[in-house]
C-alpha cells in the first residue's frame, strides 16, 4: 500500500539528507565561499518548483514570486512589517467613496528594460492583458476581481474602474503577479514567446530562459526607482542572478552537496534541520501569509457529510505532534482558516484543540460504535467507518497524511486510507470528482479574499463542497466592505462559520525557510513572507 511505503520513506530521506550535509560539513574550511558557477557579482538561487512557464500574468504561481519581483515593479507595495501600502510605480492614489474607481498618479522617471517609457498607457495595456485572460486557470485574472478596465486620463494618470466595490484592490495591485510589463514587448510577442523575452521595469532583466531548468537575469543598469521597502535605493550589488529549478528534494540535496546554489528559497523543515551546523549555509525564516497548512472535509460525501464525524476528526488531531515531528518546530500550530500573520485573522487558539475523550464521545453519541468486536466502528448499516485522505507529494504533506491516519485510526477506531497525487493540478482534477473525504488544500495571499475561492458555493477551490447562501453573503459583503472595521467583523464571522461547521482542519502555521550562503547579506522578505527582494543581496557584510 502507498501509505505503508510512505511511513518508511521519511527516515530514508532523513538519512540521505544527513549524508549530503555530512559531505557539506567536510567543506567547513570553505565556509562563506561561493557556489560553483558564482562570483562576487553573481549568485545562483534554487527554487523548489518546475514551472510550466514563467510569465507573471499567465503563470501566477506563488513559488515564482521572487522571480517576478526581480524583473517587474508593481504600482504599489506593502510594507513587510506594517502591511501599509507604499508607493512604487504609482506615486499617489485615491479610491472613490463608492469604491467604483481608483485613480493612480504615476512616476515620470521610469523606463522599461527595452527603453519603452512607463506611463498611463502602459498600465492600461497591462490591465487589459490580464482582464483578457478571463477564467484561464492559474492566471492573475482573479486578483482583479470586479475590475472592468483602465483609462489613461493623461500621460501619467490612470483610472481603474470597477463594477462594484472591491476591498482587496490595492492589495491586488501590489502583488508580483500584477507586475507591469512593457507594452512594446507584449505587442511583439504572443503568450508563448513572451516568457522568453520578458521586459519589465525591475532591478533585473531577462538574459535567457531554459524551460524547466533555469532563468538567467542581469542587472538593469538604469534602475534608480526602487520602492521604499528596498534598503538599497540605487543599483543592485549583484550583476547577475540565475534561478535554478529544483522541484524534488533530491535535486535540492544535490545542489547543496555540490554547492551549486548560494540561496535556496522554500526549503523543507527536514532539510533545514539537517543543514543546521553547516559551515556553508545558514537558515532564515519568515511567517507566511495566507491559509495555514490544512486539510478540507468533503461535506457532500459520506461519512464526512456528518458534522459529528468532522468535529471528532478535528478533536482527535494532535497538531503539536505534527508540528514537532514533521515540521521540526519551524512552525506553530494553527486553529483558524487564516494564518496568524494574515490581515483580519481571527484568533481561535485553544478552540477545537486536541481532545480525544470528547472526540470519542462525539462518535459514541451518533451510535457509531464497534458492534461486532473487530476493533473498528461501524455505521448504522454495520459497515466500518472509512475515510479517504487525498494529498499531494509536496511540503511533506504525505507525511502529515500518514500521521493523521495513525492518529485517527488509533484514537477513533475508524479506517483511514491515503491516496497521493503527483501535483497540485492532479489534486484539483481529482477534487472535481468528489471522490475523497479529506483533501489537502491551502492558498497563499496577503488578503483574506482568498477565502472566497475556497468557500463560495461556486468557488473554484470549494473542495469542502459547502453550499450555504449565508456564508456566501458573509464573504461577498466582506469583499465589498471598504471600511476596515466592518470588514474585520464580517471576516471574523466567516472564520467562525468555517470552524463551527468543521469545513477545514487547520494544522500548522506557514513558514518560509531560506537556506543561504554565509557570505551573503541583505535578505529581505516581501509582505507575503514568501518571496525575497534580491536587490539588497550582496556578498560581505
Phi and psi at residue 195, to the nearest 5°: -65, -20
Q: What is the pLDDT of residue 424?
A: 87
Q: Where are the domains of the chain?
A: 62-203+221-233, 293-509
For cell 519581483, the residue is 69
Whole-model pTM: value is: 0.90
Q: From 387, 449, 389, select the one nearest 419 (Cα to Cα).
A: 389
Phi and psi at residue 540, to the nearest 5°: 100, 170
Query: Directed axis angle between helix 397-412 and helix 356-366, to 10°?
Result: 60
The answer to whether the beta carbons of residues 317 and 407 sit under 8 Å apart is: yes
Nearby residues of 269 by Cβ (< 8 Å), 6 or more positions away: 326, 327, 328, 329, 330, 331, 396, 511, 513
Dihedral sign for Cα atoms in the order 378, 381, 385, 386: positive
Cα-based distances in Å from 233 to 222, 225, 227: 12, 7, 8
Dihedral sign for Cα atoms in the order 257, 260, 262, 264: negative
- Look at residue 243 and give its three-state secondary structure: strand
d(CA 166, CA 367): 47
**The three-state (H, E, C) secondary structure of 280-311, written as one string:** CEEEEEEECCECCEEEEECCCCCCCCCHHHHH
Phi and psi at residue 402, to the nearest 5°: -65, -35
Cα-based distances in Å from 452 to 84, 458, 491: 23, 9, 11
d(CA 311, CA 304): 10
Q: What is the pLDDT of residue 207?
A: 97
Q: Does domain 293-509 have CATH number 3.40.50.300?
A: no
Q: What is the pLDDT of residue 66?
A: 98
d(CA 332, CA 528): 17
Q: What is the pLDDT of residue 311?
A: 98
Q: What is the pLDDT of residue 234?
A: 85
Rounded-to-5 percentages of helix, strand, coil across the chain: 35, 20, 45
What tens-digit pLDDT sequence spans the chain (541 residues)?
Answer: 223 333 333 333 334 334 333 433 333 333 445 565 555 699 999 999 999 899 999 998 889 999 999 999 999 999 999 999 999 999 999 999 999 999 999 999 999 999 999 999 999 999 999 999 987 778 899 999 999 999 999 999 999 999 999 999 999 999 999 999 999 999 999 998 999 999 999 999 999 999 999 999 999 999 999 999 999 888 999 999 999 999 988 899 899 988 999 999 999 998 898 888 888 999 999 999 999 999 999 999 999 999 999 999 999 999 999 999 999 999 999 999 999 999 999 999 988 999 999 999 999 999 999 999 999 999 999 999 999 999 998 889 999 999 999 999 999 999 999 999 998 889 999 999 999 999 999 999 999 999 999 999 999 999 999 999 999 999 999 999 999 999 999 999 999 999 999 999 999 999 999 999 999 999 999 999 999 999 999 997 6
CATH placement of domain 62-203+221-233: 3.90.76.10
Nearby residues of 78 by Cβ (< 8 Å), 6 or more positions away: 84, 85, 86, 171, 174, 229, 446, 526, 527
Nearby residues of 94 by Cβ (< 8 Å), 6 or more positions away: 102, 103
**The three-state (H, E, C) secondary structure of 380-430, written as one string:** CCCCECEEEEEEECCCCHHHHHHHHHHHHHHHHCCEEEEEEECCHHHHHHH
The Cα angle at residue 123 between residues 117 and 125, in degrees rounded to 5? 95
- How far is C-alpha 123 from the chain's CA centre? 26
129-151: b (≥16 Cβ within 10 Å) or e = bbeebeeeebbbbbbbbebeebe
| 203 burial level (CB within 10 Å; 0-12, 13-18, 19+) | buried
- 429 beta partners: none
- Look at residue 76 and give its three-state secondary structure: strand
Amino acid at each position: 500500500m502507498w501509505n505503508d511505503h510512505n511511513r518508511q520513506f521519511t527516515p530514508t530521506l532523513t538519512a540521505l539528507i544527513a549524508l549530503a550535509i555530512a559531505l557539506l560539513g567536510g567543506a567547513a574550511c570553505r565556509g562563506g565561499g561561493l557556489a560553483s558557477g558564482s562570483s562576487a557579482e553573481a549568485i545562483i538561487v534554487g527554487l523548489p518548483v518546475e514551472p510550466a512557464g514563467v510569465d507573471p500574468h499567465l503563470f501566477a504561481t506563488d513559488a515564482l514570486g521572487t522571480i517576478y519581483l526581480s524583473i517587474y515593479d508593481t504600482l504599489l507595495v506593502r510594507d513587510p512589517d506594517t502591511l501599509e501600502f507604499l508607493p512604487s510605480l504609482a506615486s499617489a492614489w485615491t479610491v472613490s467613496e463608492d469604491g467604483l474607481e481608483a485613480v493612480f498618479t504615476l512616476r515620470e522617471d521610469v523606463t522599461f528594460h527595452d527603453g519603452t517609457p512607463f506611463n498611463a498607457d502602459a498600465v492600461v495595456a497591462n490591465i487589459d492583458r490580464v482582464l483578457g485572460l478571463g477564467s484561464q486557470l492559474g492566471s492573475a485574472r482573479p486578483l482583479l476581481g470586479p475590475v472592468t478596465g483602465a483609462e489613461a486620463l493623461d500621460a501619467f494618470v490612470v483610472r481603474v474602474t470597477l463594477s462594484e466595490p472591491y476591498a482587496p484592490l490595492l492589495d491586488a495591485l501590489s502583488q508580483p503577479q500584477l507586475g507591469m510589463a512593457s507594452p512594446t514587448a507584449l505587442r511583439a510577442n504572443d503568450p508563448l514567446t513572451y516568457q522568453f523575452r520578458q521586459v519589465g521595469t525591475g532591478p533585473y532583466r531577462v538574459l535567457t530562459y531554459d524551460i524547466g531548468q533555469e532563468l538567467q537575469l542581469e542587472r538593469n543598469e538604469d534602475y534608480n526607482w526602487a520602492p521604499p521597502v528596498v534598503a538599497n535605493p540605487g543599483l543592485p550589488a549583484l550583476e547577475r542572478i540565475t534561478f535554478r529549478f529544483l522541484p524534488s528534494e533530491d535535486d535540492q540535496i544535490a545542489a547543496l552537496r555540490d554547492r551549486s546554489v548560494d540561496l535556496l528559497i522554500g526549503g523543507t523543515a527536514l532539510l533545514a534541520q539537517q543543514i543546521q551546523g553547516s559551515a556553508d549555509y545558514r537558515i532564515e525564516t519568515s511567517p507566511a501569509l495566507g491559509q495555514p497548512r490544512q486539510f478540507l472535509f468533503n461535506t457532500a460525501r459520506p461519512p464526512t457529510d456528518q458534522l459529528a464525524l468532522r468535529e471528532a476528526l478535528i478533536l482527535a488531531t494532535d497538531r503539536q505532534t505534527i508540528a514537532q515531528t514533521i515540521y521540526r518546530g519551524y512552525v506553530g500550530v494553527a486553529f483558524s482558516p487564516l494564518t496568524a500573520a494574515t490581515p483580519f485573522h481571527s484568533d481561535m487558539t485553544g478552540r477545537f484543540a486536541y481532545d480525544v475523550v470528547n472526540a470519542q464521545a462525539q462518535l459514541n453519541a451518533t451510535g457509531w460504535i464497534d458492534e461486532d468486536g473487530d476493533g473498528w466502528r461501524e455505521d448504522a448499516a454495520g459497515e466500518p467507518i472509512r475515510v479517504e485522505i487525498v494529498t499531494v507529494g509536496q511540503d511533506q504533506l504525505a507525511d502529515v497524511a500518514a500521521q493523521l491516519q495513525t492518529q485517527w485510526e488509533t484514537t477513533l477506531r475508524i479506517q483511514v486510507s491515503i491516496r497521493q497525487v503527483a501535483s497540485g493540478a492532479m489534486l484539483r482534477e481529482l477534487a472535481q470528482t468528489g471522490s475523497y473525504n479529506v483533501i489537502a488544500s491551502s492558498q497563499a495571499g496577503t488578503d483574506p479574499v482568498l477565502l472566497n475561492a475556497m468557500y463560495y458555493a461556486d468557488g473554484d477551490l470549494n473542495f469542502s463542497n459547502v453550499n450555504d447562501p449565508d456564508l456566501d453573503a458573509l464573504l461577498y459583503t466582506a469583499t465589498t466592505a471598504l471600511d476596515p472595521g466592518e470588514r474585520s467583523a464580517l471576516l471574523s464571522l466567516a472564520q467562525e462559520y468555517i470552524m463551527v461547521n468543521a469545513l477545514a482542519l487547520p494544522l500548522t502555521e506557514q513558514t518560509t525557510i531560506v537556506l543561504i550562503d554565509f557570505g551573503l547579506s541583505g535578505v529581505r522578505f516581501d509582505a507575503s513572507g514568501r518571496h525575497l527582494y534580491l536587490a539588497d543581496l550582496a556578498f560581505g557584510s
